[in-house]
Amino acid sequence: MSDVIENAKRALGLVDLTNLNDDCSAGDITKLTGRTVTDHGSVAAVCVWPRFVAQATRELKGTGVKVATVVNFPAGGEDTGAVIAETRQALADGADEIDLVMAYRAFRDGRKGFAEEQIIRVKAEIPAPAILKVILETGEIGDPLLIHAASNVAIAAGADFIKTSTGKVSVNATLEAAEIMLTAIEETRRENAERVIGFKPAGGIRTSEDAASYLALADRIMGHNWASASTFRFGASGLLDALIDTIEGRTPAAGQGY
């Protein structure tokens, strides 16, 4: 089997199949959940708006596919009470994973403590085995040193994963940001081998080649056996079809969306 096909098979099980389109409907969610189990294995999760969590949970019952949702999305606002209420409702509706947008503007403006406290308070609402992914919005933070610092803030505040982007801004996942974030994760592992932090690049990852590049980066920094569904996810909508095309030997069509 070629490395290209092997990488595509590896990536398929790491996909958070996503629909966060503004016009998403219940019918779109049914189409999304219907794509999760393929002839080549299942994706890791779906990622949907909070209003669709209960539906996605029903439709995925028994598949082993997790349901993720977004809170404080996409603006990364400062109404922590509202974010906590949103989180509680999502968990009550069956969410397995909460993707929280960090208050990145507050962080970028020097209010590190506010951003950290919001994450701490949201994490406190999430009982195991549910997990918290913190979206840094690296394209808006911009500065590499600040991206590294934001990674450390999110990790210290209890993030189970750190995630690059919402997919709603002009610059989303990049390999440069991924390297910074994975380095922060590796530094944490060196300090505390028992602390497991995952990584999720999201936004603009559409081809098998894109996926292979991120996996190669993770292998280089974290070790070849590190990336699994418990430590690595791709946030994407068009990527799944591209991976299946690669596995089945077709020329992939251009992926669309998130």
pLDDT tens, position by position, 85-124: 999 999 999 999 999 999 999 999 999 999 999 999 999 9
What is the CB-side half-sphere exposure of residue 126 using CA atoms within 13 A? 29
Mean pLDDT of the chain: 96
Which residue out of 66, 123, 133, 200 is catalytically annotated?
200
Is 133 among the residues known to form the active site? no
pLDDT tens, position by position, 36-51: 999 999 999 999 999 9
CB 33 within 8 A of CB 59: yes
Is 200 among the residues known to form the active site? yes
pLDDT band at residue 222 under the 50/70/90 scheme: very high
From 1.10.287.3510, 3.20.20.70, 3.30.465.10, 3.40.50.1220, which CATH number describes the 3-247 domain? Answer: 3.20.20.70
Structure tokens at 214: 């991120």
Q: Report CA 96 to chain centroid distance, whole Å.
A: 13
Q: Among 53, 50, 51, 56, which residue's Cα sits nearest to residue 30?
A: 56
- Can you tell me the mean pLDDT for 240-245? 97
CB 247 within 8 A of CB 212: no
- Can you tell me the mean pLDDT for 204-219? 97
Which residue out of 99, 160, 210, 241 is catalytically annotated?
99
Q: Where are the domains of the chain?
A: 3-247
Which residue out of 93, 123, 163, 210 is catalytically annotated?
163
